[in-house]
Amino acid sequence: MPKRPPMFSVSLLRPCLLFLSAFLTVPVLVQAQQDDEVVRVNTDLVVLNVTVTDKMGAYVPGLHLSDFKVYEDGKEVPEKVISSFTLHESPFASVVLLDTSGSMETRLTLGRSAAIRFLDGLREEDVAAVYKFDYRIEQVQDFASGRDLAPMAFGIKARGMTTLYDAIAEAAKVLAERQELRKAIVVLSDGMDTSSKTSSGKALDFALAVGASIYAVDMSATDSGHRDNQSAMILKSFAEKTGGRFVATPGGPALRDAFASIAQELGHQYTIAFRPQDTARDGRWRALEVKLSRPDLVVRTRKGYRSPKR
């Protein structure tokens, strides 16, 4: 197992470059400061990773650019400004975030099992890192294609406050250093943040800046079916806005099937890149929507991005 690097706090996030591919280079600067978090995407390209399924949830290959229409702030993006359209079956890098705060005391064993379920679904070319978070964020294991948790994960005890938003920001930082085209953050949490310096909005911006989809597993659910609706809403919002998925069950066959599907999804996505016609660098949120010419198909991608700001 590689030597674990020193842990960085979210307040020490530094600028880093993300190279999306040899033919499509998009510099991304992610910087967070305790009271003045900043996210800037210094790029003239907007990149969308798009999942397309049929009504049964099977992934649909073989579509062409003419099957897609992209909208930015409600206006159709002309095909002439779309610079790249591809279907990738490529490796992906992911960060698994395991909530080990005090509120997870009765669910920690289930959380570890869920993490193992996800790792078990990785292909040989995929890599994942695992972090735990409570009142601080700590790396459990570095990026690797291993199918099991490091031994230290089994000695973890639940304690302290919850820094969910800081953990998402940290995951975005380490993913920004990866070369893989597909990036994901898998959150295993009961969803309640009690101690982060980063706001939920900034955590979302960090994930969007590096093109990471968030897959959130609601660990607040109990055997009786009761769940914390507020926590579930927080996790679901992260997943929907980044083009990921919200998993409402923390265990059983449904979780196993969901994780297998997530791993498959990350390797079978369409990528659309375009140059915005609105070149203003005003830091404004710009809504994105992708529609298909075939009404029998379902499309999922991120909901928008924040434009660069001078």
Question: Is there a single domain that holds both residue 144 and residue 214?
Answer: yes
Question: Is there a single domain that holds both residue 199 and residue 149?
Answer: yes
Query: What pTM was estimated for this model as a whole?
Result: 0.78
Q: Let me know if residue 223 belongs to a domain.
A: yes
Question: Is there a single domain that holds both residue 150 and residue 238?
Answer: yes
Question: Is there a single domain that holds both residue 240 and residue 99?
Answer: yes
Nearest to 132 by CA among 163, 176, 110, 107: 163
pLDDT given for residue 27 in this prediction:
39
Question: Is there a single domain that holds both residue 151 and residue 282?
Answer: no
pLDDT class of 227 with cuts at 50, 70, 90: low
Count of domains forming the chain? 2
Q: Let me know if residue 32 belongs to a domain.
A: no
Q: Let me know if residue 10 belongs to a domain.
A: no
Q: Let me know if residue 219 belongs to a domain.
A: yes
pLDDT given for residue 221 in this prediction:
67
Question: Is there a single domain that holds both residue 175 and residue 105?
Answer: yes
Q: Let me know if residue 39 belongs to a domain.
A: no
Domain of 79, in residue numbers: 44-87+269-306
Q: Which residue has the tokens 């953990």?
A: 167
Greater confidence, 123 or 17? Answer: 123
pLDDT given for residue 115 in this prediction:
85
Q: Give pLDDT tens digits for 283-298.
A: 888 999 999 999 999 9
Question: Is there a single domain that holds both residue 244 and residue 159?
Answer: yes
pLDDT given for residue 3 in this prediction:
44
Question: Is there a single domain that holds both residue 118 and residue 243?
Answer: yes
Greater confidence, 232 or 181? Answer: 232
Q: What is the mean pLDDT of the chain?
A: 80
What is the average pLDDT across 251-280? Answer: 80
What is the average pLDDT across 151-164? Answer: 85
Q: Let me know if residue 302 belongs to a domain.
A: yes
- The amino acid at residue 128 is A
Q: Let me know if residue 191 belongs to a domain.
A: yes
Beta-carbon contacts of residue 163 (< 8 Å; ≥ 6 apart):
10, 133, 134, 135, 136, 137, 193, 195, 196, 197
pLDDT surpasses 70 at 142: yes
Greater confidence, 11 or 235? Answer: 235
Burial of residue 266, with CB atoms counted within 10 A of its CB: 0-12 exposed, 13-18 middle, 19 or more buried: buried
pLDDT given for residue 107 in this prediction:
81
Question: Is there a single domain that holds both residue 191 and residue 138?
Answer: yes
What is the average pLDDT across 43-49? Answer: 77
Q: Among 45-54, 213-222, 259-268, which is the least confidently predicted range?
A: 259-268
pLDDT given for residue 230 in this prediction:
80
Question: What percentage of the chain has pLDDT greater than the value 70?
Answer: 82
pLDDT given for residue 295 in this prediction:
93
Question: Is there a single domain that holds both residue 159 and residue 256?
Answer: yes
According to the 3-state scheme, what is the secondary structure of the chain? Answer: CCCCCCCCCHHHCCCCCCCCCCCCCCCCEEECCCCCCEEECCCCCEEEEEEEEECCCCECCCCCHHHEEEEECCEECCHHHEEEEEEECCCEEEEEEEECCHHHCCCHHHHHHHHHHHHHCCCCCCEEEEEEECCCEEEEEEEECCCCCCHHHHHCCCCCCCCHHHHHHHHHHHHCCCCCCEEEEEEEECCCCCCCCCCHHHHHHHHHHCCEEEEEEECCCCCCCCCCHHHHHHHHHHHHHHCCEEECCCCHHHHHHHHHHHHHHHCCEEEEEECCCCCCCECCEEEEEEEECCCCEEEECCCEEECCEC
Q: Let me know if residue 20 belongs to a domain.
A: no
CATH number (domain holding residue 180): 3.40.50.410
Question: Is there a single domain that holds both residue 98 and residue 221?
Answer: yes
Question: Is there a single domain that holds both residue 48 and residue 155?
Answer: no
pLDDT class of 13 with cuts at 50, 70, 90: very low
